[in-house]
Structure formats: structure tokens, C-alpha cells
Amino acid sequence: MISGMIDLVEEFEKKLEIASSLRDRLGEDAEAAERDPHSRRLPRPCGLTIHTGIGCKFGCLYCYIWDMGFRGEPRAYPLSGLQLAYAIASNPAVALGRNGTLLAYGSVTEPFMDVSKERSFEYLSAVAKLLGNPIQLSTKAYLSSEDVSRLKELVGYGSFLVTIISLSMSRLLEPNAPSPDRRFETIGNLRKAGFHTCLFLRPILPGIGLNEFREILEKAYGFGVCGVVLGSLRVTRGIIDRLRAAGYPGLGEILDRIPRNPSGGEQITIRSSDLKQRVAEIAKDLGIEIYPSACAASIAAHGLGCWACRFGPCGDREAIPDFEPADLIELARRFKLKIHSLRIEEPKVFLKVDGDIRMVKRFKEFVKALIKRELVIG
């Protein structure tokens, strides 16, 4: 558990020192890391997304990455582990260390595909040793006991999300992914090693019956799962077309739940609060912890506390750190910003800030990661 007072300016200075040290170690190879999107991408609610590969071979019909331009043969991400660590450390929006920005592996690719598996191990090792940020990995892969032992040696702890959304239609929906049975084995192997492991029921697809969701949850419970994260389906025009071409029987209900038709690669979340509630009731009946979001599972896995959004407080509320308001004013100056007013109404911090809008966004994400509270900037 992390608690007590956090010195925001000190954390900023440490980050600069780490980034400078990594740049010196890289020499000319630092330039590729500085040009890489990891060095400037803003964190999402789940954390800073880490790409271990480009593209994915699993071919899941409900996946949106095909409409984001990730086409062609999947391949490992081009940066070395040291370059990735430097790219993350040099990102102005990222706070480093155990209480820093959450890192989320697996958002637009499968970390443990055969073409990117070794790169994933390399990245995890480098980031764990050099930066120490909380890590979360989402996967559909089969991880053997040997794979998990290697993960344990490299990172020691972490949050894992294992996706299983259907038993009866997995081959239709996820044609090249390992079978659900193999993924249940992955859950078991991770739990035996002591990793915080959750079932990732995302997306919950209309057309899959509640009895099937119950069976998935019962099996996951039998393999020792720590909890479940429920997520809604996001559709694009391409996803609708792929589901239609495959003859997915729940497509009609999906279309009924779309608030409006997507255009191009636009992603639209379907209405599914009723489905999530029904599945949540099954999980509750089985005694399975329900996490409101992926980041909530990561917070719990790392012994942290967070109240930065409407889902909170998540994790250990006593682990949410305190901070000196004066540090915010000084830290803003380091970001070339000026705070005109500051008001704290727990769990929110209200600021009026002048300065470049891009730097304001970076400042907001950096501070929010450290103080684990919502920042409202006017």
C-alpha cells in the first residue's frame, strides 16, 4: 500500500533525471524514441497504452483495430526495450514510479503473439527495472507455466486481464485465437504464480445468452480468478459488416442498440447497461469481485487507491496520497503554466490555468496520475 505525502516537484525532478540518464545510454538511438508516439501520447483512463506489436493475427470480428489502420501482417514494435523506456520517461504527461501513470499493454494488439512475444518480454523487463510503473496486460493468448514463471521473474507483480467472451461462438468470433479452454488455463497459471488476474468480459455481445455468461464466470471462478471487468461493445462500420458476413446471430440486436450508424472508422458504443447489469448479478451471485473498469483492476492489483473518476474510490482509499497545494503552483511553473486559482473539494481539485493548451493537458495527466484525484481545469 502506498500512502502518505507525495512531493509533486520531487517526482518531476526524478522523472527528468531518469529521462536524461536513459538518453545518455542510448546515444544516437535516442532520436527514434523521441519521434515515437509513446513519447507524446496522452494517457487514456486505463493508462498509457503500450504497443508491443503492430497489428494482430487473431482476427477477432468485433475488434476495431482494423478500422484504425492496423492492417497487413502483424509484426513486433520497432523500438528496443531501452528505447521504449526512454520514450515513456520523456513523455511530459507521464509520471514515473509505483505511484505513477498506469501502463496498459494490449490495447491495439495481442502482447503474446508469436511475432511479438519476445518484444513484450523485453519491454516488460526494461520498464519494470528502469521505470517501475504499474503494469496491466490484456490477452487472449495461452501462457504456459514457463511463460508465467518468466513474467514473474521479470516484473514480479502486475494486473492481467484474460479475455473470454463466448464458449459456443469463439471460433466464429475469434477465428485465430486460442480456445477458451486454453485461456482458462492461462488464468490458472497466472493465479498460481500470484498475479492479480481478472476475467475480461469485454465486449459483452448481444446474442450470447445469460446461461453462457454464467458458465464462463463459473469456469473462471474455478481457476481462481480475482474478479471480472465488464465492457461494452464498440462498433464501426467494418465491425458490423464483418459480423454480418460471418452470420453472427446477434447482429440484429446489436443494430437495435446502436444510438446512430457509424461512418467510416468511427467507433460507437452500443447501449448495453442492461446486459452488464445482468452479467454483474451473475458474478455477484458467484462471489466474484466486479471491477467497474480495467484501471480499477490495475489499481487493486498494485495496492493503490484512486478517486480520479466517477467510478471511484477504487482500491484502498487510505492509499490515495496527500499533497501540498503549493506544489501544484510550482509544478505548473515547470510546465510553463500559471495557476490563477486553486480549490480543493475532495476528491476534486479545481484549477484555473493559463498557458499552452497542449501543455495544460500534459500537466493535468501528470498530476492526476500522482495524486489519484480528478482535476477540473478551467
Q: What is the pTM of this model?
A: 0.96
pLDDT at 3: 55
Residue-wise pLDDT for 329-377, tens only, equals 999 999 999 999 999 999 999 999 999 999 999 999 999 999 999 999 9
Cβ atoms of 182 and 209 closer than 8 Å: no
pLDDT at 66: 83
C-alpha 99/C-alpha 26 separation (Å) is: 26
pLDDT at 71: 74
C-alpha 295/C-alpha 103 separation (Å) is: 9
Strands 159-163 and 196-201: parallel
Q: What does the DSSP assignment read for 8-46?
A: HHHHHHHHHHHHHHHHHHHGGGHHHHHHSGGGTPPPBTT
- Total H helices, total E strands in the chain: 14, 18
Confidence band, pLDDT 50/70/90 cuts, at residue 246: very high
Cβ atoms of 294 and 229 closer than 8 Å: yes
C-alpha 186/C-alpha 296 separation (Å) is: 21
C-alpha 135/C-alpha 307 separation (Å) is: 19
Using DSSP's 3-state secondary structure scheme, residue 189 falls into helix
C-alpha 92/C-alpha 270 separation (Å) is: 34
C-alpha 299/C-alpha 309 separation (Å) is: 13
pLDDT at 1: 44
Q: What does the DSSP assignment read for 42-58?
A: PPBTTBEEE-SEES-SS
C-alpha 181/C-alpha 166 separation (Å) is: 11
pLDDT at 4: 83
